[in-house]
Amino acid sequence: MMMVVICCSIGFGHCCMDEERTALQEITESISYGHDSNAYSYRSRFSDDCCRWEGVHCSPTNSQVIAIYFYYIKKDVADAWFLDMSLFSKLKQLQELHLVGNNISELDNPEAICELTNLRRLDLSMNFIEGEVPRCWSSMPSLQSLDLSENQFRGNLTPILANISKKIEMIDVSHNFFEGFVPFSIFANLSKLSHLDLSYNYNLEVETEDPNWHPSFQVQHLLLAACKLNNQSDHVIPSFLSTQGNLQTLDLSSNSLVGNFPTWMLRNVSSVLSLRSNCFVGQLPEQLENNSNITMLDVSDNFLDGNLPSRIDRILPRLFGFNASSNQFSGPIPLSFGELEHLERLDLSNNRLTGLVPANLTRNSSLWYLNLSNNTFDGEPLPGNCSMPKLAWLLLQHNLFVGEFPACLSNSLSLKLVDVRDNRLSGNISNLPALMQVGAFLVGRNRFSGQLPQQLCQMQRIQFLDFSNNGFSGNIPCCLRNNSVWKTKYQANSWVPIDFTTKGISLSYQGIPLTLMTGIDFSENTLVGPIPHEIGELSELHSLNLSNNWLTGHIPTSFENLKNLESLDLSHNILTGPIPPGITQITTMAKFSVAFNNLSGLIPFNAQFSTFSATDFEGNPELCGKVMESKCSGNDDDDGRKENSMEKAEESLIDRPMFFYSFVFVSYAVGFWGFLAPLCISVTWRRNYFAAIDGWIQYLLRMKSFLFKRSL
């Protein structure tokens, strides 16, 4: 108490009360429990006066705490915050409680804050809180805003919403695991309701078509995505929307709604309209009575067809983002798209669009996202005079583009993703600019030629590199070792899904898997020379495909350092020598192929290599081991057993033709000289030898005479 009197008396302004300071100290101690470095740093800045603490606001009249704003204090995902909500109940005048993004996983005594009769705003969004929501939260008498979004709350949502405060203005319970049947009539008397978000609760069912209710509210932001909207009413568009004149944001995505495209919504919604992933049919309007003020329009993944609006710059002049992907639109991109002064994001992918890319769309453009993939556009991928200095994501894959790689991208130094795969582009890309921010550079399945550009070595943030199925020649640059992402863990810099072929299949990476995956694909080219041993330094590489080239030399022993490698394909080259035994220590390896090379020696059969088949090693006549039918000379198997090793060695030796002829020669020489040498050297041997011969001759003559006489 003395501290409070002193600090206030010397002019520090309002000072917090002892009881409230003690409660806040206990709260901050629970934050830093586990030694979260960010939370510890946050707490270390506190003074004795809690009203001066960062994120704590006190009343200017009575020095009591009225608001807490703790945003992203505890960031360490591995260190959860187990929060005792009873600590906040000691802050009797608390009006706002914001605990956003603090890795809260569990709440103790959650009902305790229901004692805070002055609490107006409760924000627990972007945490990992599990369990059910206490019903008393919604019925707190002063509650105006309730944000529980992006957590793991579960349970029946209907009782919570049915008893909510009549003063409520904002409700956001999106991205949770709530369930139950929610009739919209429970909101009928909430006259102050301006923001409602029930989106992405996949077990929730929302029904709006009850004829006995009429809204007393004029909602400004209504988000009902992926909540089984009007399943019992044949998936119709909510009829009460026609009474809402203040709509700024409307999101009805992923609800399988049916009917013709609701043109009237372009007039009723003033900012953001998302109708993605429904079953709307028909065409976009060519004109409106009054121009729309919509800035973001998403009609992707429906069944819309026909041409795109020819004068979209007149009906949607303020358009900032337009997504019409995954429909059945046809024809060219109208020139009017280039007249949209504010257009920064354009996605027309997965349609039937044809023709050229309009020059005015890419000239002095503000576009930072351009996706024209999976259509049948032809001509140059980008006009020669294009200028898009803000461009970060460029996706042009799966079209009929011809010509060279767009040289004008040298002005787009913010590029994070370039995908021009599956076109008919040709020439070399030696003039490629060093795109220092690019995370995925994908030019596979084209007709490019020449050497791999040395500029790749300067792009140190590349996560995915696909140069496959082209005509690139020359050596693999050893300076790829400069890449920092392939050597150390790095957070992915693209929110766009990326398709990449690994383990023989094409996979789409997004979210957390995208942050973990890296890969290089130089397959199906005419690359020559040895594989640089420096590639073995890329310890964070997950996929490496160098197959179908003319690579020579040995498999680098440094590959044993690729501890995170999941797929390695070196097949169809001219590699020689043994398979480095250290590679068997890569426990993450799921796919391995060295088929059709000139490798020799024993195939390892321990660890992951015991899971690979003979097809992964075929086409190498000198390879042997358990996997192959051929047995190795010397050791029978690679497990170290040496049964009958001497016998097998002798059999192997005798079976050789050279041994046979050598044995015949040596036998003849020994017999011949063993007989003649004594006769030449010794006189006694010579006399005895000839005496024996004469004796045998006389014996044979006597026998012949004797036999002749008997015959007479």
One domain, residues 544 and 677: no
One domain, residues 641 and 678: no
One domain, residues 533 and 677: no
Distance CA 84, CA 357 (A): 59
One domain, residues 565 and 680: no
One domain, residues 597 and 617: yes
Q: Is residue 293 part of a domain?
A: no
pLDDT at 636: 44
Q: Is residue 465 part of a domain?
A: yes
**Residue scoring higher pLDDT (75 or 634):** 75
Confidence of residue 38 (pLDDT cuts 50, 70, 90): low
Q: Is residue 624 part of a domain?
A: yes
One domain, residues 499 and 524: yes
Residue 561 has pLDDT above 70, yes or no: yes
Distance CA 665, CA 513 (A): 70
DSSP string, 616-635: GTTT-TEEESTTSSSPPSS-
**Model confidence pLDDT, tens digit, residues 351-395:** 999 999 999 999 999 999 999 999 999 999 999 889 999 999 999
Q: Is residue 605 part of a domain?
A: yes
Q: Is residue 625 part of a domain?
A: yes
Count: domains in the chain: 2
Three-state secondary-structure class, residue 18: helix
**Residue scoring higher pLDDT (649 or 356):** 356
One domain, residues 521 and 552: yes
- The pTM assigned to this predicted structure is 0.84
Nearest Cα residue to 309 out of 279, 341, 340:
340
Q: Is residue 495 part of a domain?
A: yes
Residue 8 has pLDDT above 90, yes or no: no
One domain, residues 484 and 526: yes
Domain span at 673? 657-686
Residue 121 dihedral angles phi and psi, to the nearest 5°: -130, 125
One domain, residues 564 and 661: no
Portion of the chain with pLDDT greater than 90, in percent? 69
> How many residues are there in the chain?
712
The arithmetic mean of pLDDT across residues 311-321, rounded, is 95
**Residue scoring higher pLDDT (40 or 674):** 674
**Model confidence pLDDT, tens digit, residues 503-530:** 889 888 887 778 889 999 999 999 999 9
**Average pLDDT over the chain, rounded to an integer:** 86
pLDDT at 700: 52
CATH number, domain with residue 636:
3.80.10.10
Q: Are strands 574-577 and 498-502 parallel, antiparallel or unpaired?
A: unpaired
pLDDT at 266: 94
Residue 94 has pLDDT above 70, yes or no: yes
Confidence of residue 176 (pLDDT cuts 50, 70, 90): very high
Nearest Cα residue to 258 out of 278, 230, 233:
278
**Model confidence pLDDT, tens digit, residues 234-261:** 999 999 999 999 999 999 999 999 999 9
Confidence of residue 3 (pLDDT cuts 50, 70, 90): very low
One domain, residues 623 and 487: yes
Q: Is residue 347 part of a domain?
A: no
pLDDT at 516: 84
Q: Is residue 575 part of a domain?
A: yes
**Tokens, residue 198:** 């029930």
One domain, residues 478 and 577: yes
One domain, residues 599 and 450: yes
Residue 4 has pLDDT above 50, yes or no: no
